[in-house]
Structure 1
Amino acid sequence: MPFSVCMRDCYDTCSMVSEFKDGRLTVRGNPRHPITSGFLCPKGALLSRWFYSQDRLKNPLIRAGERGSGEFRETVWEEVINLVADKLREIIEEYGSESVLVYQYAGDRGVVNYDFPLRLFHYLNTAMLDYGICDRAGQEALKDVYGTAVGMDPEELRNQELIVYWGINAFWTNLHGFMLAKRNNLEIWTVDVVRTETAKRSDRFFQIRPDTDVLLALGVAKVLIEEKLHDEEFVRENVYGFEEFRNYVKALSLDYVSTETGLSVEQIEEFAKEYAEKKGIIHIGYGFQRSLAGGEAVRAIAILPALVGHRFGFIYDMKTIDKGYYAEGAFLRAKPAKRIPQMKLAEYIERGEIRFLYVYNSNPLASLPNQRRLRRALEENDIFVVTHDIFLTDTALYSDVVLPANTFFERLDIADSYYHRYVALNEPVARLYGKSNSEVTRLLAKALGINNPYLHESDEEVIRKILEINGLSWDELKRNGFVKVPEKPRKWETPSGRIEFYSRRAVERGLTPFPEYKRFEGRYPFRLLTPTHRMTITSQYHNTYGMIDPNLYINPVDAERRGIEDGDAVEVFNENGRIRTRAKLSTDVPKGVVLLYKAFWVSLLGWNANFLTTDETVQKYGNGSAYHSTWVDVKKV
């Protein structure tokens, strides 16, 4: 039976076994995989429904009406590939190669399907994305402290007593990691603004106000140091700037921390004392660092594991294999790439700097903020848009050319994980519709008359080379469906060669040497949070699974003040736009906060939370996104 791997943008990267029963594809978890353990999440269990969806694109499309109207004519591959190649030549000749932008992200995380098309655009010397949408702020913050964002191997949880899920709803977004902690009998704590499913299943829940994560972490650090609960020997031998940090938190009042976070002084002290006793591991989430306070919060949280004696006592990212440079062919460039910030796509289109947009593995007209501005930019500017996707997404509807993609069940690939240290094999099982990203890249290269061999390598050649570069066995991968990447000796890649509480790297980038708390205020009364829904991966599966929750979650006290009852129609609005939905009263959401799940399809639902989120604000930490620094008002309609 063929091996498959779920290519979704998810921590778990499940190894699966695919087979046909009664002529229909079925999938199940690979029982031999140490992390994903032979079971699938609710989304994974429904993959055959996604695979067989009647909405899959079957033939290439060329726009026949106004942009966004959904009017297309079907065509054949030869015509559409020649059209795209001709437009590429024309636009590069008239406006230069940097007027072309390839926009892709992690809608499919297969190494070949993610990276291979970039070879063509590197060869053409086009503009490239600067990826700030997801975990950039946390990445930069962790590098300020440890020199890396790669934390602990989760298999080491078997030797731990406590895991703190800080700003992550792991039961929804890292189910196998959550169950791994359960199997190893770890005590589970959650720190979050919302009482999530993870919080409800935790041993302890610390509910804090938005943006106060940095202050809670500094308060806990203060107690650890002043009560001499920290690992003095480890800190003395491995930490840079401890004395300065001690003086920094000395001036911090626990009463102030309590007032701002909403936790009592006793809760803060209790957190510190039990965390030190159990030498807790912290799984730092991605969601909460997508705010103006996100980078500072991650930097403050990152200090806590070192205080209790952990070399890398956090979980955030797991970059296990060297793949990017070779797989994406950055060496094919003749000049440095112009990088366009992901969050500023609309702005660059408005300025006329992007004339050709090639989109794959992504649905920016669902996932990017300030959707009204982005749609207007595409409608009002001279730009040619190509989208390669499995479905007629919101982005495809705004495209000039739509190329049907195949699914990961229809091609060869491998995928690594940003949670664990395993690379998994994906073998083709069947063939229904569309072409892979690498197939289309080879066709375009041929149509452009490019004979460079790196643009015509087969998928297997690329995979074997990636495995060879990383010292991994193709035979073992074929035999088991996965292979573990050995961990190399690690060190702190900071200027001092130590864990930096006083961050020299941060200072060099114009930031303060220590994490800094700042209170942010908006023009509207409610802070809008837009987390992912359990049954979607950003915009994926909305059209195939349909089990979404479009309600606005609001605290009953806030609702009563506006005369809103459960189920009432409400309007949510700010300077970016307005949407209409229904209210769901819940004490899981604190006062002053409202919640909408993110990135649903506008073409199906009629609206999307990203008609409200901001694109004007990015963080000092690597231009990281600030979705959760959006403020709105709500009224009954």
Structure 2
Amino acid sequence: MNSNNLVACPLDCFDTCQAFVDEKGNLKGSKEHLVTHGKLCVNFANLAKEEFLTKAYFEDKEISLEESLNILVEKIKATKKEDVLFYKGAGNLGVMQNSVKTFFAKYGATLTKGSLCDETGSLGLELGRGGINVNPPLEKLINSDVIIAWGRNVAVTSSHMYDLIKDKTFITIDPIRTKTAKISDLHLQINPKTDHELALLLTRFAHMENLEDESFINEHEGAEWFFDLAKSRPLISYEETIGIKLQEITKLFELIKDKSVSILLGLGPQKYYEGAQIFRAIDSFAAYIGVHNKSKGGLWYLDDSSYGYEKQLVAEAKNKIALPTVDFSKFKLVFIQGTDPVVTAPNTKKVIEGLQNSFVVFYGTVLNETSKYADLIIPSSSFLSKKDVRLSYGHELKAISNYIESKNENTITEYELANFLNEKFAFEKLKDEEEILNYYINTKVEDYSFIKKFEFLEELEVESLYEKQKENQYYFLTSKRKNSLNSQFKIDNYLYVNPCLGFNNEDEVLLKSPYGQTKIKIKNSEDIKENCVVAYSGNKYANYVTPFLTDEAANSAIFQEVLVEIELS
């Protein structure tokens, strides 16, 4: 295959596909890429069909790219550094996307820290592993016997990786009866925010079944303290709080006994204030039964894909604020790159009000809900017309992008924009683009997934949502679906509930929480647990009710740390 025809999927998902352009100009999945394996998923196919932005706008009037760049420079120069905010999303995860951030860091603007996505869970893993979060090699997943999909709808959110393991024994742990749950040998439909309790209960059963990994336990610290946590309450007490029967736990151990086990962790279990502790409890259970450091199996999450590489685009900002609680109104100039905070950030009402009180620059490839509030829109070049490298957080493979179509002359790449601004402000130019890309393409990092240092969780302080729940309140869950990715593509704006709640399809209801309220339409589904309601990612109403707060340790969003009420409107 001609490497010049390769193109990496830039989307924010586990699989990180690689495609190529055939002789007829069609985009096809790369057969040489183990995960993609010759297929394109729905979201990559949708991305290839997108109508990309090719015009710049100022105050809703079309202008030239040159005019838009000049306005940007004038606005930055006229604004004090402390009044400028750079806000970047994950609409494109190529390494070159950080180019613009380096300029704003040098300029002295405020940048963000934390995440709307995964950093709470990542911190939980790092706290137990000496500061490292790296997934095991894919081979260990493929060769394992049993897959535990813990809060991860693998068949949908990792469809390519699922194809590699679909013949395995599956166990799903999830409040929602997902596609993966439906094809699993066992589904533990637990109550939300009880994953840490389940980890402790499983540890008790592992001890009773003599399934401890004595070698790993003896080589690392804290296992006795962790087991003390696990045996601190009667077994039967878990049934009511977790929402499953002890017989189901017995079935789980029948399925995993004498088998190699892989745990695929999703985002859901860590979308809480104590999300890091919850993940650390799960990881400690995994260590207790011998999942780590084996020839088969392991634990996979969103790992630090850049670990082992020397950072080529450095953005050291003096001022940073937590991403989930950004108050846009406190900044006179807001530069937004590749994201849609009106839909994806907590407290939509506050986000909109803040944007309305700032000068907003929107830099991206497609228009969205946030671009409606932009004063200046600058079109970014599409992923098909720029070079990049994608490092995957789902596996160790990387994907390469080359030019496969001519760049629209009315658009500008991230690297070009960064150097344009560097020149205008007399800053040093970035490293040569080819030098940066070749470093990532040619550098082979060693496998850092072997856990040399591990400390079992010894203390656990999690405030349970079930202790606060009133009779008319429901757990609010956010989840990904097949035909959309975050706020991209085919968006579903319904609230999904179990039919036992008594609503009709298309009923308009008032969804309320302590953080806000919104009107939304109902769809019934038997797949939703009776005490839960679900809004899929990209739902433009969902974040009117989510907490404008961060977790306890990682400056990250806690979308599910909320109970909601529903009233017919």
Using the size of structure 1 for normalisation, the TM-score is: 0.83
Show the counterpart of 1:160. 144
Unaligned runs of 5+ in 1: 64-71, 473-484, 493-497, 504-512, 542-546, 601-606
**Number of residue pairs matched by the alignment:** 557
Q: Distance in 2 between matches of 1:224 and 1:283?
A: 19
Q: Distance in 1 between matches of 2:395 and 2:522?
A: 38
- Residue 500 of structure 1 is aligned with which of 445, 455, 467? 455
Secondary structure of the 1:301 match is helix
Q: Distance in 2 between matches of 1:402 and 1:280?
A: 49
Q: Distance in 1 between matches of 2:280 and 2:314?
A: 33
Change (3 A) 1:79 1:108: same
- Whether the 8 Å CA contact 2:135–2:394 is kept in 1: the answer is no
Q: Distance in 2 between matches of 1:514 and 1:529?
A: 23
- Residue 158 of structure 2 is aligned with which of 154, 174, 178? 174
Q: 1:574 deviation in Å?
A: 3.2
Show the counterpart of 2:551. 619
Q: Distance in 1 between matches of 2:462 and 2:526?
A: 30
- Whether the 8 Å CA contact 1:193–1:207 is kept in 2: the answer is yes
Secondary structure of the 2:75 match is helix
Q: Distance in 1 between matches of 2:69 and 2:522?
A: 47
2:52 equivalent to 1:16:
no
Deviates more, 1:146-155 or 1:32-41: 146-155
- Whether the 8 Å CA contact 1:82–1:447 is kept in 2: the answer is no
Show the counterpart of 1:303. 284
- Residue 474 of structure 2 is aligned with which of 526, 534, 541? 526
- Whether the 8 Å CA contact 1:240–1:502 is kept in 2: the answer is no
Secondary structure of the 2:339 match is coil
Show the counterpart of 1:583. 522
Alignment of 1:426-445 (within 5 A): 426-431=401-406, 433=408, 434-445=411-422
For each residue in 1:558-606, what CA deviation from the matched residue of structure 2 results, as whole angstroms up to 9, or x when unmatched? Answer: 1x2xxx2233333323344443343222221111211121224xxxxxx
- Residue 403 of structure 1 is aligned with which of 378, 382, 385? 378
- Whether the 8 Å CA contact 1:522–1:630 is kept in 2: the answer is no
Show the counterpart of 2:321. 340
Show the counterpart of 1:544. none
Q: Distance in 2 between matches of 1:164 and 1:489?
A: 19
- Whether the 8 Å CA contact 2:122–2:303 is kept in 1: the answer is no
Secondary structure of the 2:551 match is coil
Q: Distance in 1 between matches of 2:106 and 2:273?
A: 36
Show the counterpart of 1:388. 363
Show the counterpart of 1:481. none
Change (3 A) 1:423 1:277: same
Q: Distance in 1 between matches of 2:433 and 2:308?
A: 14
2:419 equivalent to 1:416:
no
Alignment of 1:164-563 (within 5 A): 164-182=148-166, 185-236=167-218, 238-312=219-293, 313-322=298-307, 326-330=311-315, 337-346=318-327, 349-350=328-329, 352=330, 354-379=331-356, 381=357, 383-431=358-406, 433=408, 434-450=411-427, 452-454=428-430, 457-467=431-441, 471-472=443-444, 486-488=446-448, 490-492=450-452, 498-502=453-457, 513-514=459-460, 516=462, 518-520=464-466, 521=468, 525-541=473-489, 547-558=490-501, 560=502
Q: 1:550 deviation in Å?
A: 2.6
Change (3 A) 1:489 1:292: closer
Aligned identity (percent) is: 25
Q: Distance in 1 between matches of 2:497 and 2:283?
A: 31
Question: Which amino acid letter does the alignment assign opposite residue 73 of structure 1?
Answer: K
Change (3 A) 1:488 1:234: closer
Change (3 A) 1:223 1:420: same
Q: Distance in 1 between matches of 2:483 and 2:308?
A: 30
For each residue in 1:181-217, what CA deviation from the matched residue of structure 2 results, as whole angstroms up to 9, or x when unmatched? Answer: 12xx321110000001111122211111111111111
For each residue in 1:342-382, what CA deviation from the matched residue of structure 2 results, as whole angstroms up to 9, or x when unmatched? Answer: 01112xx34x3x23211112111221011101111222x3x
Show the counterpart of 2:67. 79
Deviates more, 1:365-374 or 1:426-435: 426-435
Q: Distance in 2 between matches of 1:76 and 1:445?
A: 21
Secondary structure of the 2:405 match is coil
Secondary structure of the 1:441 match is helix
- Whether the 8 Å CA contact 1:224–1:273 is kept in 2: the answer is no
For each residue in 1:507-566, what CA deviation from the matched residue of structure 2 results, as whole angstroms up to 9, or x when unmatched? Answer: xxxxxx34656345257612221212321111122xxxxx443322111111x2xxx223
- Residue 595 of structure 1 is aligned with which of 534, 538, 544? 534
Change (3 A) 1:151 1:327: same
Q: Distance in 2 between matches of 1:57 and 1:417?
A: 26
Q: Distance in 2 between matches of 1:146 and 1:34?
A: 28
Deviates more, 1:205-214 or 1:287-296: 287-296
Change (3 A) 1:458 1:293: same
Question: Which amino acid letter does the alignment assign opposite residue 200 of structure 1?
Answer: K
- Whether the 8 Å CA contact 2:497–2:534 is kept in 1: the answer is yes
Show the counterpart of 1:48. 48
Q: Distance in 2 between matches of 1:212 and 1:529?
A: 13
Q: Distance in 1 between matches of 2:231 and 2:516?
A: 44
Change (3 A) 1:194 1:146: same
Question: Which amino acid letter does the alignment assign opposite residue 211 of structure 1?
Answer: K
Question: Which amino acid letter does the alignment assign opposite residue 233 of structure 2?
Answer: L
Show the counterpart of 1:604. none
Q: Distance in 1 between matches of 2:200 and 2:129?
A: 17
For each residue in 1:406-454, what CA deviation from the matched residue of structure 2 results, as whole angstroms up to 9, or x when unmatched? Answer: 211011111110011111110111135322111222222223333x132
Q: Distance in 1 between matches of 2:120 and 2:257?
A: 27
- Whether the 8 Å CA contact 2:493–2:541 is kept in 1: the answer is no
Q: Relative to total residues, which structure has the larger helix share, 1 or 2?
A: 1
Q: Distance in 2 between matches of 1:240 and 1:500?
A: 5
Q: 1:163 deviation in Å?
A: 1.0
Question: Which amino acid letter does the alignment assign opposite residue 203 of structure 1?
Answer: D
Q: Distance in 2 between matches of 1:233 and 1:405?
A: 53
Show the counterpart of 1:68. none
Q: Distance in 2 between matches of 1:159 and 1:326?
A: 33
Question: Which amino acid letter does the alignment assign opposite residue 611 of structure 1?
Answer: Y
Change (3 A) 1:275 1:621: farther
2:543 equivalent to 1:610:
yes
Secondary structure of the 1:240 match is coil
Secondary structure of the 1:378 match is helix
Show the counterpart of 1:67. none
Change (3 A) 1:620 1:142: same
Change (3 A) 1:325 1:610: farther
- Whether the 8 Å CA contact 1:166–1:191 is kept in 2: the answer is yes
- Whether the 8 Å CA contact 1:26–1:48 is kept in 2: the answer is no
Q: 1:14 deviation in Å?
A: 0.3
Q: 1:83 deviation in Å?
A: 1.6
Q: Distance in 1 between matches of 2:247 and 2:193?
A: 21
Q: Distance in 1 between matches of 2:216 and 2:251?
A: 22
CA RMSD of the aligned region, Å? Answer: 2.2
- Whether the 8 Å CA contact 1:219–1:252 is kept in 2: the answer is no
Using the size of structure 2 for normalisation, the TM-score is: 0.92
Change (3 A) 1:98 1:226: farther
Change (3 A) 1:171 1:127: same
2:12 equivalent to 1:3:
no
